[in-house]
Amino acid sequence: MLTYRTCDGRVLDLSCLTEEERQHFERAYQAYRNGMAAPSFSNEMVHGMANPLVGRAGGWVTREVYRHPLFQALRDLEDRLGLAQGYLEPAGEDLSDPLEDEWIPAPEAARRKGVTLMGLHNAIRRGDVIARPAKPGGRRLLVSCNSLGAWKIDEVRQANAKARAPT
């Protein structure tokens, strides 16, 4: 599990979670899969002291907590439960499995997106696209199809790069 796709299409990088955070996410994901009541999920898993982010913040959802990928993923699971249980009205959200992803070699990802391999690597360095080594310690990268699909190419950056390229 490295990526999480929210029901509004954002892709979160969960590779940075600590062991404690990862374990909490796994418990929360299991509670979601088991259909825990949305209000209980919200109170216990998202905003409660069981959430290590909230616990470290003294029981508060601070700006730092709110922006953390774990909190964003938990809030999304909360929304998914709310939609499934009728607490929220659907508005065209993608409710497919949020952990489902495909990993493809970087050259194929660049071809699919219509960019150069260097452009893709720059996007990976900026954090716009999520990638991981194909083998532990390896240099060849596999790219998350979810993050590739969510990446919005900056047309101005592309035009500037083309203008700088030798003819």
Q: What is the pLDDT of residues 96-118, one digit of tens each?
A: 889 999 999 999 999 999 999 99
pLDDT at 161: 67
| The model scores a pTM over 0.85 | no
Which residue range(s) make up the domain with 73? 3-84
Over pLDDT 90: what percentage of the chain?
Answer: 81
Q: Determine, yes or no, domain membership for 155.
A: yes
26 with 73, same domain: the answer is yes
Band (167; pLDDT cuts 50, 70, 90): low
How many domains are there within the chain? 2
Residues 6+ apart with CB under 8 A from 113: 120, 148, 151, 153
* Whether the Cβ atoms of residue 132 and residue 103 lie closer than 8 Å to each other: yes
Domain boundary among the residues 53, 84, 115 is at 84
